[in-house]
Structure 1
Amino acid sequence: MLAIGLEGSANKLGVGIIQHPDRSSLEHNKSVTIISNIRHTFHAPPGEGFLPKDTAKHHRTWVALLVAQAMEEAGVTVDDIACICYTKGPGMGAPLTSVAIAARTLATLWGKELVGVNHCVGHIEMGRAITKADNPVVLYVSGGNTQVIAYASQRYRIFGEALDIAVGNCLDRFARTLNIPNDPAPGYNIEQMAKKGRHLVELPYTVKGMDCSFAGILSSIDLHAERLHKDGKRWTDPETQQPITREDLCFSLQETVYAMLVEITERAMAHVGSQQVLIVGGVGSNERLQEMMGHMARDRGGSVFATDERFCIDNGIMIAHAGLLAYKTGFTTKLSDSTVTQRFRTDEVFIKWRD
């Protein structure tokens, strides 16, 4: 069985085509074949974020081209496709709507069933399929979401999350403060600068039970960045008397927010008795986060699973995969119900394909 997936919840437009062995098999971790996985990203100028209207225009411009390219690359025809899967939410309203309209159009033209997919569940199922993680605690970290998740009774249960802005949003907004380019991604560019950092600047560390707060950290480090703009490329920390650079600030931000994420993930592992951690979402491709999580997991006798940027960063193949899993259980989305929602909780989805 083949499905095509359309993802466009933020600035990345993805189209993917995936194959499962047959209608009855739900052993997806052993038998997934990725046929095509194409992505095109809208980049705002340095110092700016991507606006919903501009991102939606980008998706409308490119979606037909990417669908045609994916079909050609996969060597499939319309007759081979079982269903059309699209991101129902969460995400930015205008980009989501653009992709949903494209999915509805294809479903009508091709006479195919629609499947609305939860973006977060797409990340989790793609991560499980690629890494072969069995039943891990999931850390889902991206520009719009920060959640610690564990599976129970056919739901992905949220154990902890960001109380204000997501960790990826925190990183992206600090990149704008320092005028760091958005290409290929602001978080990636911060990661490269952080590798050159040497001095740790003290920042607020805000963990509240299983939840995190990142807005105060952003405000604090923005104040440090203002001193850079006033004093040039570096300034002296009055407490340590160390010269502080842009790279030091990137290093300090990463170390602080990732330590918070490791703490709440470890607490969830202890609660559910899991020895596995799966990191998904765009921020999950950060090597330093994977390294810190790996130290924690090994100390507990466990292991960390993560994927590279092909599957961590928003993509169409994860929507096709999660959509096809749901479709094989009999789930479809009526044309009249093929709406989108900016707030679609991970734990709202009934995971019928898992025991």
Structure 2
Amino acid sequence: MSAIPSVDLKDFVSEDPKRKQKFIEEIGAAFENIGFVALSGHFLSDELVENLYTEIKRFFDLPQDIKDKYEIEGIGGQRGYTSFGKEHAKGRKEGDLKEFWHFGQYVENNPKLEEEYPDNVTVDELPEFNEVGKETFQMLEKTAQYVLRALALHLDLEETYFDDYIKNGNSILRPIHYPPITSEPKNAVRAAAHGDINLITLLMGAHGRGLQVQNLEGQWVDAIARPDQLMINVGDMLSRLSNNKLKSTIHQVVNPPKELWGTSRYSIPFFMHPISEMPLNCLENCIDEDHPKQYADITAGEFLHERLIELGLIKA
């Protein structure tokens, strides 16, 4: 039994005000208490999920020299392939035991942002790979938009407060491959303890053990979703905006028991980012005598740049 609360997005998008309010209260309480929920009723079809897993397994099974040609220098790993062990958690020297791919935003009607964001990288060897990635990106972005609308109402904002900030936002879909472990990892784990940078993260593939969340008492609890659910958590940007009313919870992916070292693990997070200009200044209605302002004013773009330096993905 997972310690993570479950919610159903169908409640929020129903025409029933009581069901909608129930969803707002449930996800608001979960994000104030543990920062994670397991969400069903999202916009991903079973067929799309199956197709995506097929395509990403095909990609990570390609010979290393072919994968390496999709690792693009000078863009901080924001698009294309990032090879094994290159990324590390903030404050860690050991690289995480993973390789991954990044799909980025498909900009609509905004030449300035088309110029600002790196281009998505096309995999020549896999004709379906990019199309399936794009469709998944857009369905997860749509799901995230409705989750943020519920959170806006929970924070006493206009329901569409986030809409203009996330349209053409700097979001990332990251298929991750944790390869079989072949020798005793010294201090490395599949993903060391960290908080996410962005507004919210929607995670596919948290169906096996491995993902753990640190609760308010400091204990590590397993975060396990049903196959039809997405695991969704608060990122640091949303935590700053809400003056820590909504909790960005530390989480990690631990190595499996030794008897399972020979198996691969796949995980596909979608990191919902706003446009760079979004102010992350603490909301006035989240500040009072008992909750003084905790964070300095900053934009989403400035905050992202700081964190990518800390993660070792770009140079200062």
User: Structures share a fold, TM > 0.5?
Assistant: no
Larger CA Rg, structure 1 vs 2: 1
Give TM-score, length-normalised by structure 1: 0.24
> Hey, which of these two has a bigger chunk of strand by percent?
1
Give TM-score, length-normalised by structure 2: 0.26
Question: Which one scores higher on RCO, CA 8 angstroms, separation ≥ 6?
Answer: 1
